[in-house]
Amino acid sequence: MSKQILRRPVPDNWQTLFPDLHPVLARVYASRQVDSSKELESGLEHLPSPLLMKGMEQAVEVLASAIDEGKRILVVGDFDADGATSTAVALRALRLFGTTDIHFLVPNRFEYGYGLTPEIVAVAAKQDPHVIVTVDNGIASIDGVKAAKQLGMQVVVTDHHLPGASLPQADAIVNPNQPGCEFPSKNLAGVGVIFYVMLALRAVLRNSGWFERRSIEMPNLAQLLDIIALGTVADVVPLDHINRILVAQGLARIRSGRCCAGISALLDVAGRQRENCVAADMGFAVGPRLNAAGRLQDMSIGIHCLLSDDPQQAREQAKELDALNRERRSIEQEMQDQALGHLQTLQLEDATSLPSGLCLFHEEWHQGVIGILASRIKEKFHRPVIAFAAADDEYLKGSARSVSGFHIRDGLDAVATRYPSLMQKFGGHAMAAGLTLKRSDFEDFVVAFDEEVRRHLNEQDLQGSVWSDGGLAPSDFNLELAESLRQAGPWGQGFPEPAFDGVFNLLNRRIVGERHLKLRLGAEGTSMPLDAIAFNTVDDDWPIGVSQVNIAFKLDINHYRNSRNLQLMVEHIEPLVVAD
């Protein structure tokens, strides 16, 4: 589907905001609404106090008492990368505090589904915990919390998902998105929330003399920031100033060789260099391998990898995760082919004839991969997508991904308000959500979802777009600027990596690796040809006589053997035919 290249607006005073920076970088920051150098500070001293988070004092009181009395604590996590990193941070921190009776449980997504359900509480009860701590889940677990309380357990909920109309009756709830919470960021991932809980808990234990009494050196929780950076980036939460600090600090630890054995091993099996690690490596290399465990098997594999301090053990676990990720990619490709084939059978003239809200289901699709499938189809057709897989003979589970302008969780809530019986349950964020419905209600839901999307998005909203930070001068095509841009982030959701656009002379093109387009380009004012690559792009449908291309691209550095060369990473390409 064709896309349009749009240039980000830049305030008129952008040149005066950051006089000491390269003009391109100054322009990039200004276009992301950064209006002072203070917003670029990445020191931990710029983080707000944990006590600004509602429920923090109650949560810490429960946990400090449990530690002091030697109670058994069970951390109940989620089966994605945020859940895995949240679990690892909780266990590592509590162990550093001297807690020994600490365990974790992650629901198997295929057997129990998401969150602290009554069924998971029954499984947890076999370990006889005194306190359950949820990480990256729990805000919607009304029945599960009730079941745990009936069994005499205390429950501390730590979560970041949007709450529903009612909250669980837990002993404490820490969630920046709960009503009445004044914490300045609503964008923390689950791993960020539990990190804040551990910071507050450490302060209480220190003030009570706990560490002195136990002859424990007060731990520096900064050692957990590599795991926090991974979870924050992998969960694709907006990188506001607080999240950028957490990610920047974590990446700094990784680059300096101070990361945990698990992240080091995952970078190795992904072929990424620790000393050059950036946020994109967390999002596109480490995160998917960690997620593969929860998608196909059991996230416990990934959690054990993050908890391991043995490099050889971590290496073996990372290899297992890498193998699962290759299997996941194979399953995903087959599902994507099936989905695209299904869309072709609809015999629609073009993509604009598709429903505004797209729902897809195939009996053989894998529950663990439907989220990625929804994301891929969304990227291709630029509209909200829900991919469904069979949960059992009666129910379907759906994973939703949205586009700018349509809050997917609120959209599902509106559908539930109009048609109360359609969905059994749902939850999520602005851009991603999950739901369960009966097979018999699928067709009705398809219509209701499309109806809701059409209330918010018009045809222009569904037109694919690529955002650019403008053009580059000939002198800007150099390794120094590419390196500056790479290190200037961290870049990610809500704070996108810089991209640029321009028209280039096409000197040479060829297909590499069957699906990628390798280019040699000429730019006006530059003497040397530029190398470029467009992944998952072929030229089969290009017209004859293409002599120029209009591209949106990122400046990148290609490391090959012992050399470093400038390379344009093509985000979008349009072939141009110049008339004689």
* Distance, CA of 428 to CA of 421 (rounded, Å): 19
Over 80: is that where the pLDDT of 99 sits? yes
530-534 and 464-468 beta bridge pairing: unpaired
Please provide the DSSP assignment of 68-106 as one string. HTT--EEEE--SSHHHHHHHHHHHHHHHHTT--SEEEE-
Token output for 308: 């391991």
Over 70: is that where the pLDDT of 346 sits? no
pLDDT confidence of residue 121: 96
pLDDT confidence of residue 185: 95
pLDDT confidence of residue 347: 47
Once rounded to an integer, what is the mean pLDDT over residues 517-525?
92
Distances (CA, A) of 527 to 47, 273, 462, 521: 47, 31, 40, 11
Helix (H, G, I), strand (E, B) or coil at 203: helix
Over 50: is that where the pLDDT of 349 sits? no
Once rounded to an integer, what is the mean pLDDT over residues 466-473?
95
Nearest one of 501, 487, 493 to 576, comparing CA atoms: 501
- Count the Cβ atoms, other than its own, within 10 Å of residue 257: 9
Length of the chain as a residue count: 580
DSSP structure class, residue 180: T
> By CB neighbour count within 10 A (0-12 exposed, 13-18 middle, 19+ buried), where does 227 fall?
buried
Query: Cβ contacts of residue 294 below 8 Å, gap of 6+?
Result: 78, 79, 80, 81, 83, 84, 106, 109, 302, 368
Looking up tokens 């970041």, which residue turns up? 160
* Distance, CA of 307 to CA of 78 (rounded, Å): 16
Once rounded to an integer, what is the mean pLDDT over residues 2-17?
89
> By CB neighbour count within 10 A (0-12 exposed, 13-18 middle, 19+ buried), where does 58 fall?
middle
Query: Cβ contacts of residue 506 below 8 Å, gap of 6+?
Result: 519, 520, 521, 522, 546, 547, 548, 549, 575
pLDDT confidence of residue 580: 56
pLDDT confidence of residue 345: 67
pLDDT in tens, 298-327: 889 999 999 999 999 999 999 999 999 999
Over 50: is that where the pLDDT of 10 sits? yes
Once rounded to an integer, what is the mean pLDDT over residues 221-240?
96
Distances (CA, A) of 569 to 70, 155, 465, 530, 531: 54, 48, 17, 11, 9
Percent of the chain clearing pLDDT 70 (strictly above): 97
Looking up tokens 């777009």, which residue turns up? 465
Residue 350 binned pLDDT confidence (cut-offs 50, 70, 90): low
What backbone phi and psi angles, to 5 degrees, belong to 471? -90, 170
pLDDT in tens, 256-277: 999 999 999 999 999 999 998 9
pLDDT confidence of residue 461: 84
The residue ranges of DSSP E strands in 142-244, in sequence order, are 154-158, 172-174
Over 50: is that where the pLDDT of 348 sits? no
Q: Which domains does the chain have, with CATH numbers?
A: 49-322 (3.90.1640.30), 346-462 (3.10.310.30), 466-577 (2.40.50.460)
Residue 429 binned pLDDT confidence (cut-offs 50, 70, 90): confident
Positive or negative, the Cα torsion across 114, 171, 52, 192? Answer: negative
pLDDT confidence of residue 162: 87
Average pLDDT over all residues of the chain:
92
The crossing angle, in degrees rounded to 10, of helices 311-345 and 300-307 is: 150
Over 50: is that where the pLDDT of 107 sits? yes
